[in-house]
């Protein structure tokens, strides 16, 4: 391969052949032993065509069937070099050079560099080279192939090999000193067709040589596109018929496609793709499933329908300007209501109880210290143990909202402490408890919702939750190729029997039917389905990552810029957002038309469902009975009755323990003490029994006092 720069021969030396050393760098690599003459004025025509493209670099490719004279090639190279057109000379006589040429084009695809190739060979070899270029997918709008067809008409085999995204120009020499230029992207509605766009007879007829794509494809002239479609509300509402046909009843992207068709003057027909999925990436064996795989194989022109742009998909298709700015999220079942029986103690969590107990234990000794401090300082004799007992008992009765206990001291300091303890127990603990109890009874508490990926991971690891995704979707790719929490979620999914669902709608129905299931997908789609099936049945997580949706087209699609101009105008004008909002306005009607959720079945380890009525699960449908606030009822007060029963049970146990203790002590006293001390022992036990019963009674009355205060306004 020899790259010729823009250094041409001196103007004082018109003989290019005799001044070859000034024109080329490596002459021996370029000269071929067998070459014939090019047509007359072909060199001048190629020079004018290169300038009229315009092209800064042109690759001259000579096939195995060429037999061009070296002087003709030198004249062509020097003339192009003199007019500042860099020349790359390549001979395809060896397989190594041919692979080098294909690698050169592949590098241009990776770097998005423009390439112009002038291919000189016989018609049969032109057909073979075009087939090899197509098989290697060296097709892009930045690469132009110019074939010189030396004689006769262009064959049907050559025409049928041309793909629409492949820029192919053919130069013919119908008569002496006349060259015609044919181009495959000159008409928007005729495929495998070459139209004459220019000619040369001493000079070019017009410039530029080839018509620009934005002018050609601004009007498709009624061309009909076959467009694959998938059922994915609210983007497309599709009904699948028994004869393998589809009926699209609406959707945001259906309206967008109608606007594009009206603006660009084309028609379209929907058809059912084989896999009924989008497709995620090119697999290790070189296959690409789904609708995007059809575009990658150039069996479909484009696909529209909430297609997320990912790096893996960019290796197979091209995307237009974005049609939706969305984010990823996951959907879980709505948190269940907690038991109303425990509502009476739920305001106090386990973290509160140690502090409450510590406060009760500290308050009694503190009051004793206030009362006993003067006696300790003045060294007065007093029953300190009995005083401490009375102080602890007095503070306990204050916390229980009882005032029948006798004050341990009537000093001002003791009364001040008693007042502070009473106010704290009454207005801080009591009122806060009453307010929380009223709130919980009016609006029952629910389980902690799952809103983050870390919470979802913990639920899957410890509580048996399952995560499902749409098969061949971008969400599946994120889990398969992700690291960190996404990688851990993917590992946890491997132990599930069901990991992929046919569509997001099927996954949402699965979440509705089974409580411990979550689905990962686009937030807009999930939000629409939650509104469709009842938002009170679901919980939508926070935004996880940004995702953009666009129209998927073939790599090198010539009308990509035309689509971009229309979509960009609709996006900037807010029309796309308006169409999305209109789908939510039609939501109640769509929800009424949707079939009720039933049980779901599994097919080969995957949930399958082609229509809203086809998705079923192995669990019964669960419905929420409460969609808002409810009035307080006696059912919510069963916790108070349970507490009353517990009080009676404790009182009965205390009575039994008291009887047993009394009997044992009576028996021991009869053995160790005289009979006259029986009366004092019995009276002491009776006093203890009365105190225990009084305390239990005060606990029950205090509880009912809290409930009465809490439920007074509500009732």
User: Quick one: CA dihedral 471, 472, 473, 479, positive or negative?
Assistant: positive
Q: Computed over its alpha carbons, how large is the radius of gyration of the chain?
A: 43
The encoded tokens of residue 593 equal 């038309």
Percentage of the chain beyond pLDDT 90 is: 37
How far CA 31 is from CA of 26, 44, 119, 147, 234, in Å, comes to 9, 21, 17, 22, 64
Q: How confident is the model at residue 13 (pLDDT cuts 50, 70, 90)?
A: very low
Whole-number pLDDT of residue 703: 64
Q: d(Cα 23, Cα 7) in Å, to the nearest integer?
A: 7
The mean per-residue pLDDT over the stretch 27-34 comes to 35
Look at phi and psi of residue 112 and say left if phi exceeds 0, alpha if psi is from -120 to 50, else beta: left
Cβ–Cβ < 8 Å for 477, 310: yes
Whole-number pLDDT of residue 661: 87
Whole-number pLDDT of residue 156: 93
Mean pLDDT of the chain: 79
pLDDT tens string 652-678? 898 899 888 888 888 877 776 554 555
**Helix/strand number for the chain, H first, E second:** 25, 22
Within 10 Å of residue 468's Cβ, how many Cβ atoms?
26
How far CA 3 is from CA of 57, 83, 97, 153, 606, in Å, comes to 10, 15, 14, 33, 57
The encoded tokens of residue 125 equal 């070899």
Cβ–Cβ < 8 Å for 686, 604: no
The mean per-residue pLDDT over the stretch 230-253 comes to 90
Q: Check pLDDT > 60 for residue 305.
A: yes
More confident residue, 309 or 602: 309
Which residues does 552 contact at the CB level (< 8 Å), separation at least 6? 291, 292, 295, 302, 303, 304, 307, 313, 317, 318, 319
Whether the ω angle into residue 234 lies within 30 degrees of 0, i.e. cis, is: yes
Q: d(Cα 353, Cα 369) in Å, to the nearest integer?
A: 25
> Is residue 23 classed exposed, middle or buried when 0-12, 13-18 and 19+ CB atoms within 10 A define those classes?
buried
The mean per-residue pLDDT over the stretch 139-158 comes to 91
pLDDT tens string 359-413? 778 888 888 888 887 776 655 566 777 888 888 888 877 776 665 567 777 777 7
Nearest to 493 by CA among 639, 625, 653, 330: 330
Task: Please report how the helices 431-442 and 678-711 are oriented relative to each other, as an axis angle in degrees rounded to 10.
Answer: 50
Q: Check pLDDT > 60 for residue 610.
A: no
Whole-number pLDDT of residue 715: 44
Lookup result for tokens 């990688």: 487
pLDDT tens string 250-269? 899 999 999 999 999 999 99
Whole-number pLDDT of residue 422: 76
Q: d(Cα 314, Cα 621) in Å, to the nearest integer?
A: 40
Percentage of the chain beyond pLDDT 70 is: 74
Nearest to 665 by CA among 680, 652, 649, 646: 680
Q: d(Cα 191, Cα 211) in Å, to the nearest integer?
A: 16
Q: d(Cα 184, Cα 266) in Å, to the nearest integer?
A: 19
pLDDT tens string 460-479? 999 889 999 998 888 888 89
3-class state of residue 158 by DSSP: helix
Q: Check pLDDT > 60 for residue 304.
A: yes
User: Quick one: CA dihedral 300, 303, 308, 314, positive or negative?
Assistant: positive
Whole-number pLDDT of residue 301: 93
Whole-number pLDDT of residue 483: 86
Q: Check pLDDT > 70 for residue 159.
A: yes
pLDDT tens string 537-549? 899 998 998 999 9
DSSP label at 153?
P
Q: Check pLDDT > 50 for residue 623.
A: no
Global pTM? Answer: 0.71
Which residues does 685 contact at the CB level (< 8 Å), separation at least 6? 658, 661, 662, 665
Best-predicted range by mean pLDDT (63-67, 223-227, 588-592): 223-227
User: Quick one: CA dihedral 474, 475, 480, 482, positive or negative?
Assistant: positive
Best-predicted range by mean pLDDT (286-295, 349-358, 580-589): 286-295
| Helix H or strand E encompassing 693 | helix 678-711
Q: d(Cα 355, Cα 362) in Å, to the nearest integer?
A: 10
pLDDT tens string 555-577? 999 999 999 999 999 999 999 99
Q: How confident is the model at residue 651 (pLDDT cuts 50, 70, 90)?
A: confident
Nearest to 76 by CA among 16, 125, 18: 16
pLDDT tens string 434-460? 666 666 665 666 778 898 999 999 999
Nearest to 504 by CA among 271, 278, 320, 335: 278
Whole-number pLDDT of residue 5: 35
Whole-number pLDDT of residue 397: 78
Q: d(Cα 522, Cα 524) in Å, to the nearest integer?
A: 6
DSSP string, 546-595: EEEEEEEE-TT-TTHHHHHHHHHHHHHTTHHHHHHHHHHHTHHHHHHHSP
Instruction: Please count the CA atoms within 13 angstroms of the CA of 80 that sit on its side-chain side.
Output: 31
Pairing of strands 517-522, 466-470: parallel
The encoded tokens of residue 224 equal 């009909």
Look at phi and psi of residue 353 and say left if phi exceeds 0, alpha if psi is from -120 to 50, else beta: alpha
Q: How confident is the model at residue 227 (pLDDT cuts 50, 70, 90)?
A: very high
Cβ–Cβ < 8 Å for 521, 504: yes
Q: Check pLDDT > 80 for residue 120.
A: yes
Q: How confident is the model at residue 235 (pLDDT cuts 50, 70, 90)?
A: very high
The mean per-residue pLDDT over the stretch 24-45 comes to 57
């Amino acid at each position: 391969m020899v790259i010729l720069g823009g250094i041409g021969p001196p103007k004082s030396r018109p003989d290019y052949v005799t001044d070859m050393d000034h024109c080329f760098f490596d002459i021996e690599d370029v000269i071929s032993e067998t070459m014939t003459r090019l047509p007359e004025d072909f060199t001048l025509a190629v020079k004018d065509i290169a300038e009229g493209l315009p092209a800064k670099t042109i690759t001259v490719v000579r096939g195995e069937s060429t037999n061009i004279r070296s002087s003709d090639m030198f004249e062509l190279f020097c003339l192009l070099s003199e007019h500042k057109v860099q020349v790359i000379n390549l001979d395809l006589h060896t397989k190594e050079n041919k692979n080098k040429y294909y690698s050169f084009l592949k590098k241009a695809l990776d770097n998005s560099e423009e390439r112009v190739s002038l291919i000189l060979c016989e018609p049969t070899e032109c057909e073979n080279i075009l087939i090899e270029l197509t098989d290697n997918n060296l097709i892009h709008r930045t690469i132009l192939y110019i074939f010189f067809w030396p004689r006769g008409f262009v064959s049907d085999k050559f025409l049928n090999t041309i793909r629409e995204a492949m820029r192919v120009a053919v130069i013919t020499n119908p008569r002496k000193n006349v060259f015609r230029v044919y181009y495959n992207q000159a008409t928007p509605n005729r495929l495998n067709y070459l139209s004459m766009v220019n000619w040369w007879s001493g000079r070019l007829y017009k410039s530029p040589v080839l018509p620009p794509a934005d002018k050609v494809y601004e009007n498709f002239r009624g061309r009909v596109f076959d467009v694959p479609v998938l059922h994915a509300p609210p983007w497309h509402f599709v009904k699948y018929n028994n004869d393998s046909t589809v009926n699209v009843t609406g959707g945001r992207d259906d309206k967008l496609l109608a606007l594009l068709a009206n603006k660009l003057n084309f028609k379209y027909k929907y058809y059912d793709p084989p896999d009924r999925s989008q497709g995620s990436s090119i697999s290790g064996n070189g296959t690409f499933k789904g609708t995007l795989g059809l575009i990658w194989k150039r069996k479909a022109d484009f696909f529209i329908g909430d297609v997320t742009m990912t790096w893996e998909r960019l290796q197979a298709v091209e995307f237009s300007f974005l049609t939706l700015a969305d984010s990823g999220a996951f959907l879980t079942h709505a948190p269940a209501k907690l038991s109303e029986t425990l509502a009476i103690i739920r305001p106090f969590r386990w973290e509160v109880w140690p502090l409450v107990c510590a406060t009760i234990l500290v308050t009694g000794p503190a009051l004793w210290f206030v009362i006993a401090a003067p006696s300790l300082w003045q060294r007065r004799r007093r029953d300190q143990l009995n005083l401490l007992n009375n102080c602890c008992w007095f503070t306990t009765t204050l916390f229980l909202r009882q005032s029948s206990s006798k004050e341990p001291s009537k000093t001002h300091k003791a009364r001040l402490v008693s007042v502070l303890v009473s106010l704290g127990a009454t207005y801080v603990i009591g009122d806060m408890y009453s307010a929380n109890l009223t709130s919980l009874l009016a609006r029952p508490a629910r389980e902690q919702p799952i809103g983050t990926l870390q919470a979802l991971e913990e639920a899957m690891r410890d509580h048996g939750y399952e995560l499902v995704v749409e098969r061949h979707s971008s969400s599946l790719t994120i889990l398969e190729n992700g690291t960190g929490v996404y990688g851990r979620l993917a590992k946890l999914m491997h132990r599930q029997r069901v990991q992929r669902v046919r569509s997001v709608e099927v996954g949402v129905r699965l979440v509705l039917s089974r409580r411990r299931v979550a689905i990962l997908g686009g937030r807009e789609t999930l939000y629409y389905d939650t509104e469709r099936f009842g938002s009170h049945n679901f919980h939508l997580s926070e935004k996880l990552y940004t995702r953009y949706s666009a129209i998927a087209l073939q790599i090198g699609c010539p009308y990509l810029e035309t689509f971009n101009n229309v979509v960009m105008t609709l996006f900037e004008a807010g029309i796309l957002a308006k169409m999305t909002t209109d789908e939510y306005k039609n939501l109640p009607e769509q929800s009424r038309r949707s079939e009720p959720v039933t049980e779901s079945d599994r097919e080969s380890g995957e949930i399958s469902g082609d229509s809203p009525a086809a998705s079923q699960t192995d669990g019964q449908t669960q419905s929420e009975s409460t969609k808002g606030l409810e009035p307080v009822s006696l059912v919510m007060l069963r916790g108070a009755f349970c507490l009353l029963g517990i009080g009676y049970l404790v009182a009965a146990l205390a009575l039994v323990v008291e009887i047993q203790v009394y009997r044992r002590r009576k028996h021991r006293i009869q053995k160790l003490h005289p009979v006259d001390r029986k009366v004092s022992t019995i009276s002491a036990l009776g006093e203890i029994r009365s105190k225990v019963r009084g305390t239990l009674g005060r606990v029950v009355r205090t509880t009912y006092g809290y409930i009465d205060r809490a439920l007074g306004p509500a009732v």
